[in-house]
Amino acid sequence: MSQLILVVDDEAKLVSVVKGYLEQAGYRVVTAGNGREALFAARDHQPDLIILDMMMPEMDGLAFMREYAREGSAPIIALTARVDETDKILGLEMGADDYITKPFSPRELVARVRAVLRRSGAAQPEANLLRSGGLSLDRDARVVSVNGRQVELTPMEFNLLNTLMSNPGRTFSRMELLEQAQGFAYDGYERTIDVHVKNLRKKIEADPAQPDYVLTVFGAGYRFNPHNQ
């Protein structure tokens, strides 16, 4: 089973974004809006790692760490909007394993999560099952489902979707997609990718004419638009 991350922050939009990126990376996620809720969540779910905002109502990050240290040992990545070095040192001394300042890149946060879990000796999540909204891709079984319904993809379509879902938000040129999907690419052949994308959209999009997953980046190529669960 994949590892469980507890995300604690009173900014609902930030929590939603972080949750989506972590789930794309193969982690399970539970959330809390303040330190008090986080204590209950930590007791109930026993997370493998905690992402903790330091400035929250009811119980802030430092107060949470003081309480949590008595009953849990999951590594903690502290989030803060403050850049004062004293705050950073205090957070680290209280038990945070890493520190990141807002605003931050969700991809950087995912990289920090992997690094902290690696240092803590925890195994990395199985990333063979990718999920985004109602779309799922099983790399081992080479099966794709939309809202629980399995769809039949050609090998090329599966490889394209796998490449895009594995790199949410990244724009790939047609030539890059060809090379990633089939291992080689030739000049003048890259436009065939448009046909494969068109066919893929017919199978996974609610409205292929207005795609919600595989988006066109005009003049550049294509990118995958991640969805929260």
What residue ranges do the domains of the chain occupy? 4-120, 129-224
DSSP category for residue 186: -
| CB-count exposure of residue 171 (10 Å: 0-12, 13-18, 19+) | middle
Domain 129-224: top CATH class: mainly alpha
Q: What is the pLDDT of residue 137?
A: 92
**How confident is residue 60, by pLDDT bands cut at 50, 70 and 90?**
confident
Cis peptide upstream of residue 125 (ω within 30 degrees of 0):
no
Better pLDDT: 43 or 56:
43
User: Residue 137 corresponds to which tokens in the numbers above?
Assistant: 């891709």
For domain 4-120, give its CATH number from 3.40.50.2300, 3.20.20.70, 3.40.50.12280, 3.30.360.10. Answer: 3.40.50.2300
Does residue 43 register a pLDDT over 60?
A: yes
Residues 131-152 have a mean pLDDT of 90
pLDDT band at 4 (very low <50, low <70, confident <90, very high): very high
Residue 87: is its pLDDT beyond 70? no
Supply the pTM of this predicted model: 0.54
Do 129-224 and 4-120 fall under one CATH topology?
Answer: no
Instruction: Specify the 3-state DSSP secondary structure of 102.
Output: coil
Virtual torsion, Cα 9, 5, 81, 107, nearest 10 deg: -130
Note the pLDDT of residue 83: 57
Q: What is the pLDDT of residues 108-126, one digit of tens each?
A: 898 889 888 887 765 555 4
